[in-house]
A and B are shown apart, each in its own frame.
Chain A
Amino acid sequence: MTDEKKPDRGLLRIDDEECKGCGLCIEACPPRVISMSERLNHFGYRTAFYKGSGCTACGVCFMVCPEPGAITVLRLATPALATSAPETVACASN
């Protein structure tokens, strides 16, 4: 464990029963921290998964995803960060 490292600003939860594996979030993510599983879910889809680090909580993956609840984006709750509006989205074009 490298606990010394600063925690990531963002964190991603992907519901792999709701995800249909379209791959749009993988394409959209500016730091490219989402990947596609090899495993098929119950409905026969490969699904997106968070690689586990590097998320900036920009929220773009949530916006491009067509499923209402497949992706949840979380942000590190520190007083300094909490003041920036959640609307601020990095618009790195893919």
Chain B
Amino acid sequence: MPDSSLAEYEVVRGKARSFYPRYERKEELQHQTHFCPGCGHGTIHKMVAAAIDELGVQDRSIMVGPVGCSVFTYYYFDVGNVQAAHGRAPAVATAIRRSRPHGIVISYQGDGDLSAIGSAEILHAANRGENITVIFVNNAIYSMTGGQAAPTTLLGQKSTTTPNGRSAAREGYPLHVSELLATLDAPVYIERVGLGDNRQIVQAARAIRRGIEYQVRGLGFSLIEVLSPCPTIWKMSPVDAQHWVRDVMEKTFPLGVFVDRAHDRLPAPPPSAAPTLADLPHLLGVADQDLPEGHAHALSGDLPVDLQVRIAGFGGQGVLLLGEVLAEAGLDAGLEVSWLPSYGPEMRSGTSNCHVRIARGAIDSPLVATPGVLVAMNEPSLRKFDLSVRPGGWVIYNGDEFPADCRRQGVRVLALPFTRLADAMGDKRAANMIMLGAVLEIAAILPRQSIGAALRRLVKNPRWVELDERAIARGRELLRQALAEG
């Protein structure tokens, strides 16, 4: 045996630093990937990680993962990670790149993800010349879901949705994404590489590194399409699958550089610092008198606040305005708020609803799945959401009688014909404000000045502000009465 005592040897190829040492997977499997033996995704992951290492950008790299077999990029890459909805990675990458100008953003996508459901996103990201790098893993099939045809499936290739082989007459021709995108003026670099043999693999690693390097240099949009084996769905041994890339796939998808405009491109100027919050109104041309009074009546103390309200009704019943006044008042009181309207085609009639959260700390999601207070303007809205109200919560219901089958242990109810009460006060459209009064009395966190400020900001017309203030006062009083009566 030759003397190979380790002291004399140094590592020349080993696990990239941009991978986690161990992966946050199931207990026993934290030392290996979830990919099948011989899967091209693993090989490509290694090329991306090696490029990040070599370019020294691990600290500022952000990987946008797809839906598909490679959904778990965040298990492996020790960089920033975001997992996007199916096909949307280029749009997500765009947002990240623009909001973090120093980030190195890599959109990693399969061929189903990129060329089927995400065909619009990739087209427009490329056409805008976003300064991102897209790694496009073309294995000619939807692998994760068990082998349905993709736009890239070869003519004659069998899949679960083309059991007799893809036919051009039925399913169209394989989509040549790289060639299509190469017709655009913006992209700086588009190359198709393969994992079909040693030579191809070495070239693939070079191309991936180049695509990321161009981003580091600020040159613009790059896409590297990698023809990649999927032994499992192709039902081949890993070695046969590798050869199939070279001997069969490559005939439909020729390898090569389609675009390389690096020499003609000037690097984008270094990003300037983002404007400060204080500068924003000026930059947006907002006049001083139109600025919100923000934090004008900041709540003192540090009692936890986490008010979650769902408001539902028909279009025209003031559902969204009720929510807006609540949220605006929260802002005025210096709290964190979110206001999420939710309406479909029913915007003009039919049901609409909105979610409002008011909290002292950061709000994780604007969705209010289990409201502490439900404001229901009518019976259909009540029936849609009554079961979601959390125990100890309240339902404010606009109706003569609260439906008996909606009563629940531990959920309190204030049911009154608010529309009629509002009518008696001068305009039935103020029903929402009476109900808001009840909510404010229950929540008891928002200072009265903040409500007034919010109303003046949103309602503007002084006659309405006056009516709304009376309506809110009436709502408070009705709730107090109800509490007094038990």
A residues with a Cβ closer than 8 A to B are: 1-3, 5-8, 11, 15, 17-18, 20-24, 27-28, 43, 45, 52-53, 57, 59-60, 62-77, 82, 86, 89, 91-94
Closest chain A residue to B205 by CB distance? A63
A sample of 12 more A-B contacts (CB under 8 A), given A66-B41, A67-B42, is A6-B2, A23-B239, A24-B239, A60-B198, A60-B202, A63-B198, A64-B242, A66-B46, A68-B46, A73-B12, A77-B8, A86-B13
Secondary structure at the B interface, as helix, strand, loop or mixed, is mixed
10 contacts between A and B (CB under 8 A): A7-B4, A21-B37, A22-B38, A24-B242, A45-B37, A62-B14, A64-B195, A66-B45, A68-B42, A75-B9
Closest chain B residue to A74 by CB distance? B9
Q: Is the CB of A7 within 8 A of B2?
A: yes
Instruction: Knowing A21-B37, A23-B239, A66-B35, say if A72 contacts B15 (CB, 8 Å).
Output: yes
Most chain B beta-carbon neighbours within 10 Å: one of A20, A45, A68, A77: A68
Residues of B within 8 Å of A15, CB to CB, are 31
B residues with a Cβ closer than 8 A to A are: 1-4, 6, 8-16, 19, 31-33, 35-43, 45-47, 49, 76, 195, 197-199, 201-202, 205, 231, 237-239, 242
Q: Is the CB of A27 within 8 A of B46?
A: no
Residues of B within 8 Å of A72, CB to CB, are 11, 13-15
Bound complex: CA of A1 vs CA of B32, how far in Å?
Answer: 36
Shortest Cβ distance from residue B201 to the other chain A in the assembled complex, whole angstroms:
5
Instruction: Knowing A63-B46, A68-B49, say if A73 contacts B11 (CB, 8 Å).
Output: yes
Instruction: Knowing A24-B242, A64-B43, say if A91 contacts B199 (CB, 8 Å).
Output: yes
Residues of B within 8 Å of A93, CB to CB, are 197-199
Shortest Cβ distance from residue A91 to the other chain B in the assembled complex, whole angstroms:
5
Q: Is the CB of A77 within 8 A of B37?
A: no
Closest chain B residue to A90 by CB distance? B198
Closest chain A residue to B21 by CB distance? A69
Residues of B within 8 Å of A94, CB to CB, are 197-198
Closest chain A residue to B206 by CB distance? A87
Closest chain B residue to A84 by CB distance? B12
Q: Is the CB of B10 within 8 A of A77?
A: yes
Closest chain A residue to B39 by CB distance? A66
Closest 3 A/B residue pairs (Cβ): A66-B42, A69-B15, A22-B38
Q: Is the CB of A62 within 8 A of B13?
A: yes
